[in-house]
Amino acid sequence: MDATLKGRAAVVTGSTSGIGLGVATALARAGAKVMLNGFGEPKEIDALRRRLEQEGGETVAYHPADLSKPAQAAQLIEDAEGALGRVDILVNNAGVQHVSPIESFPPEKWDLILALNLSSSFHTIRAALPGMRRRGWGRVINIASSHGLVASVDKAAYVAAKHGLIGLTKVVALETARTAITCNAICPGWVLTPLVQAQIDALAAREKLSVEEAKARLLGEKQPSLEFATPEQIGGLALFLCTEAAAQMRGASLSIDGGWTAQ
């Protein structure tokens, strides 16, 4: 499998930590130029950017776009094409979570989660596809979730958004089926990211558990392996989807969930 991405350029949304950083790191180490995006302290982001440049040997830039705002999502792609010369690989990873029963779910949280976890991918794909078509090659990778395939209580907006993202993935795959552009979704289960750590801390506080007990409870409810998937594993899968070995994988939803959706 040729995993060299020399000469390619990638945009990874929500990539200053967690899954997005794992994906950005894998692509940078494979030789791609990378545009990071996300929130964080400027000094920390700059240090991260410089570290990835050293590891991959190519340009790593940063864009502060707020992906919940359509104009900024589109601007991210335009600015990435200017900074990197092209956008060959688009990884839509930015997301947020809120947990609440539907009757008490704040409408503003619903709107934010749908905007960031679903609509932002529409806006970035819409902006990136014309350039991919002109150059005759592209990879769109949407980071969905096990919750794009199955549901859980108290996560109405997140489940709706991730199901929608898998539907969007299939449509883009069909619309690009006769080109060298592919679109697929990765569906992680529990991954120990800052987003999940916040859920663990909330569970520990609510149930008066230790953090380790809360982790075990969370995994035991859903993930038969009783192990978290890692950002590095998800980065490796994203890298595979960028290779020619994956050229006829189109519209797939690839689980990396410790057996969650096998049950």
Known catalytic residues? 158
Residues 104-125 as b/e (b if ≥16 CB within 10 A, e otherwise) read ebeeebbeebbbbbbbbbbbbb
Sheet holding 253-256, edge to edge: 60-63, 33-37, 9-12, 89-92, 138-143, 181-188, 253-256
Six-digit token string for 99: 């947990």
Residue indicated by tokens 């991954």: 191
Residue type, 126: R
Round to whole Å and give the CA distance between 38 and 50: 16
